[in-house]
Structure 1
């Protein structure tokens, strides 16, 4: 009987998928917060959680294994020097995914993935995204009222 594999393919070949997840993981470790599609965020979370758990060991072997996955010295250095020290004794759950409004062009489900201990203001990000969407949507009531308010103020 055929069994379903748990990973998402993301519409890519194996090599392309691994490269995409590696790049997303690298950017998340460097910038602490990235915006991407919901499916990519969920897959990136799996990769990053394993990498951070491995980095908590602090061994040279762990550092080499992580470098082989990320291929970015800056990200590995950031991980071992700053992120691991700040995470401390947290047992998993190093990342948070916040769902956003759909992307304007293709209505893809969007999300922000961030490192938990580095989050600044998660509520402010989602509020800003909603306000931006109201401005972009043609004919929305908020956009029209803001437009009228801006014209009368001039």
Structure 2
């Protein structure tokens, strides 16, 4: 039952409310100030003060409790190392709520939650220039295939050249071998042709 409790329900169920306040406290630790509705701001301020008090202990058990409540080792580290040292001599009142304007849209009264002591926000780390990308595997494969193709073409051209030279050499050798035989055949043909031609002339009476 909810009897005798003075906290606001915020119009949501228990699990939703716990998650909501946890996220608001985490945002406060990371950004040093947040803007929300007045009711949520009051509950966030209350929980944030408890977390800072816990962080001031500086023990391992306190760190683990912060991680359990906020579900973030990063925020626990920020509270213990960056926020708590500013409140060593203070026993409470680590945050404050400042009323602002009505929120456009639903008209809810907005409020600002911030730490009572100015705490510098950490500088954002600049990204280093990216190194030149290495050639992709696909590009490497394409280059290898192209090199293989060119090498195969060269081998084919060399083989064709050698084949043509071998054919020319074979034809030349054949001509050299068959040359004298052809000349003797020609002489015999001329002799035979000469006898027949003489016979024809004799028969014709030339």
Shorter-chain TM-score bucket reads 0.7 to 0.9
For 2:31 and 2:114, the matched residues in 1 are separated by 9
Deviation at 1:118, TM superposition (A): 1.9
The offset of 1:54, in angstroms, is: 1.1
* Structure 1 residues 119 and 60: CA distance shift in structure 2, 3 A: closer
* 2:83–2:119 CA contact under 8 A, matched in 1: no
Tell me what 1:48 maps to.
48
Find the structure with the greater CA-based Rg: 2
The answer for the alignment partner of 2:26 in structure 1 is 26
TM-score, normalised with respect to structure 1: 0.73
Unaligned runs of 5+ in 2: 121-206
Q: Point out 4+ residue stretches in structure 1 off by more than 4 angstroms.
A: none
Residue 3 of structure 1, CA deviation? 4.0
How many aligned positions are there? Answer: 119
RMSD (CA atoms): 1.5
The CA distance in 2 between the partners of 1:76 and 1:109, in whole Å, is 30
- Give the structure 1 partner of residue 67 of structure 2: 67
Using the alignment, how far apart are the partners of 1:119 and 1:36 within structure 2? 20
Structure-to-structure mapping, 1:5-154, within 5 angstroms: 5-118=5-118
More relative contact order, 1 or 2 (CA 8 Å, 6+ apart): 1
Q: Secondary structure at the match of 2:102?
A: coil
TM-score, normalised to structure 2, is: 0.55
